[in-house]
């Protein structure tokens, strides 16, 4: 049985109401973006299944669902870099989640504060010519983050 209500057939309630009724997609997932509650720095953009969202609400620690590993994971379970939830928001049609978190160290497995450490260069030009530039610095060496 689902934890959350299904309001997908009731647009008014879904978009204007006060019932939390996340609309999981065909794979059972919603998108979730985590930002630093103080700086508003965008840290991670990942996915949650029902269990991940429920655990995030209940424990105050962000849980995601890994599409590549096909499993639930608590952010920081291996690296120790937990994201502590301060506030959660849903979007208009309840298929996306915004997490405002405290995260002292790197949120990226590559050791950067944010997963978005590369900027696209070459806007307003043919997309095939665009390139990336690393615009951030590693906080902790990934070998240190994931050493056992």
Q: Where does this chain bind a copy of itself (CB under 8 A)?
A: 3-4, 15-20, 25, 31, 33, 35, 39-42, 44-47, 53-55, 57-60, 67-68, 85, 87-93, 96, 98, 108-110, 112, 115-120, 122-128, 130-135
Q: Which is nearer to a copy of itself, 77 or 121 (CB)?
A: 121
Report CA torsion sign: 63, 94, 97, 70: positive
What minimum distance in Å lies between the beta carbon of 75 and a copy of itself?
A: 14
Question: CA-based angle 64:54:113, to the nearest 5?
Answer: 35
Q: Which is nearer to a copy of itself, 60 or 80 (CB)?
A: 60
Q: Which is nearer to a copy of itself, 68 or 144 (CB)?
A: 68
Give the number of other Cβ atoms within 10 Å of residue 28's Cβ. 13
Q: Which is nearer to a copy of itself, 17 or 147 (CB)?
A: 17
What minimum distance in Å lies between the beta carbon of 144 and a copy of itself?
A: 17
Q: Is 83 exposed, middle or buried (0-12, 13-18, 19+ CB in 10 A)?
A: buried
Distances (CA, A) of 43 to 8, 34, 52, 65: 29, 6, 18, 16
What minimum distance in Å lies between the beta carbon of 74 and a copy of itself?
A: 15
């Amino acid at each position: 049985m689902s934890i959350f209500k299904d309001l997908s057939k009731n647009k008014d309630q879904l978009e204007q109401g006060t019932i939390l009724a996340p609309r999981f997609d065909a794979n059972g997932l919603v998108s979730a973006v985590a930002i630093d509650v103080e700086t508003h720095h965008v840290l991670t953009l990942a996915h949650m299944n029902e269990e991940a969202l429920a655990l995030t609400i209940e424990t105050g620690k962000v849980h995601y669902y890994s599409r590549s590993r096909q499993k639930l994971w608590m952010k920081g379970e291996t690296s120790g870099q937990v994201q502590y939830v301060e506030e959660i928001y849903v979007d208009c049609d309840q298929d996306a989640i915004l997490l405002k978190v405290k995260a002292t160290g790197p949120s990226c497995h590559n050791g950067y504060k944010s997963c978005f450490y590369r900027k696209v260069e070459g806007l307003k030009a043919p997309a095939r010519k665009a390139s990336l530039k690393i615009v951030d610095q590693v906080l902790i060496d990934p070998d240190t983050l994931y050493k056992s």
